[in-house]
């Protein structure tokens, strides 16, 4: 398995509020929480990968996303390929973040979105809240696996297309933290690939990438055989910047 990862701070920002997790359960020395990074990891399954994006408009986004992924790394021994166990862990991480933030004056409402991918001998699972994303390659096409927990997506699903056109596409309806456990309003946990069918290509992104790169461009880049996955992350970053993405940007390309 190979993971090509790139995390880049948004233009003019003091801190990058995105973090990524590369976790090999039982191998803490080879596991890392990353911030402002470009590089490649190679290892064997099982593995736990995640992206967290500090919520803009709330203080402490860098600390919120980093805290959640470091706690997940610390507690990676609790990760089980079971829906109830994964839900309990996610809700526990939410409570931990709320409690942690409550003790930091001025940062009590720190919050983060969160998307995790677990690959093991049972197949593939995701745990997700907010508008970070997980997608997979399906032949030559990219298929989004997670659903954005945003006002825009809710309006689109409701058929209220005019209101969707007027709203902020990045306004989220669910996250970890934000000062109360009640803001985790939607938590998606799904076993989406069965044993023996987890091989393939997975893509995890923060909204600084996927809101500024269209599917056709991503599919064209992913279909170029002459370049490496790390070079693909470079091209995708460049496209988001060309389209004036002001946000922090994270992309993981996972090939297994």
CB atoms within 10 A of CB 94: 25
Count other C-beta atoms under 10 Å from residue 75's C-beta.
13
pLDDT per position as a tens digit, 96-148: 999 999 999 999 999 999 999 999 988 999 999 999 999 999 889 999 999 99
Residue 158 has pLDDT above 90, yes or no: no
End-to-end CA distance of the chain: 4
Q: Per-residue pLDDT for 152 more than 80?
A: no
Task: Count CB-CB contacts under 10 A for residue 121.
Answer: 10
Please tell me the distance from the alpha carbon of residue 213 to that of residue 211, in angstroms, as a whole number. Answer: 6
Preceding omega of 91 cis (within 30 degrees of 0): no
Closest to 173 measured CA to CA, from 160, 183, 161? 183
Q: Which CATH number characterizes residue 28's domain?
A: 3.60.40.10
Task: Decide if pLDDT at 198 tops 90.
Answer: no
Which phi and psi angles does 95 have, rounded to 5°? -60, -40
The CA-based diameter of the chain, rounded to the nearest angstrom, is: 51
Q: Which residues are CB-neighbours of 82 under 8 A, at least 6 positions away?
A: none
**Rg for the chain (alpha carbons), in Å?**
17
Percent of the chain scored above 90 by pLDDT?
78
- pLDDT score recorded for residue 83: 94
Q: What is the pLDDT of residues 212-241, one digit of tens each?
A: 999 999 999 999 999 999 999 999 999 999
Where are the strands (E) in the chain, listed by range? 2-8, 18-23, 32-34, 37-42, 47-54, 111-120, 123-129, 133-138, 141-144, 176-177, 188-193, 201-205, 249-255
Q: For residue 198, what are the contacts with CB-CB under 8 A and spacing of at least 6?
A: 45, 119, 120, 123, 124, 256
Domain count across the chain = 1
Using left for φ > 0, alpha for ψ between -120 and 50, and beta otherwise, residue 26 falls in left
Sign of CA dihedral 19, 24, 26, 32: negative
Supply the range of the domain harboring residue 218.
Answer: 2-255
């Amino acid at each position: 398995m190979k993971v090509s990862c790139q995390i880049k701070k948004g233009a003019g920002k003091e801190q990058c509020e995105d973090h990524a997790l590369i976790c090999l359960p039982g191998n803490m020395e080879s596991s890392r929480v990353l911030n402002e990074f470009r590089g490649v990891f190679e290892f064997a399954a099982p593995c736990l990968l995640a992206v967290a994006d500090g919520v803009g408009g709330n203080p402490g986004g860098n600390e919120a996303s980093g805290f959640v992924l470091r706690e997940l790394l610390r507690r990676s021994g609790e990760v089980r390929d079971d829906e109830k166990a994964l839900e309990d862990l996610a809700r526990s991480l939410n409570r931990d973040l709320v409690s942690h933030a409550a003790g930091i004056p001025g940062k009590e409402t720190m919050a983060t979105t969160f998307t995790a991918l677990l690959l093991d001998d049972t197949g593939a699972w995701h745990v997700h809240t907010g508008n970070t994303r997980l997608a997979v390659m399906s032949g030559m096409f990219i298929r989004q696996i997670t659903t954005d927990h945003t006002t825009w997506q809710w309006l689109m699903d409701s058929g209220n297309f005019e209101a969707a056109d007027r709203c902020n596409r990045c306004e989220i309806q669910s996250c970890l933290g934000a000062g109360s456990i009640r803001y985790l309003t939607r938590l998606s946990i799904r076993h989406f690939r069965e044993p023996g069918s987890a091989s393939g290509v997975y893509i995890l992104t923060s909204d600084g990438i996927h809101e500024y790169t269209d599917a056709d461009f991503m599919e064209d880049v992913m279909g170029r055989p002459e370049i490496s996955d790390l070079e693909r992350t470079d091209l995708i970053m460049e496209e988001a910047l060309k389209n004036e993405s002001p946000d922090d940007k994270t992309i993981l390309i996972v090939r297994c």
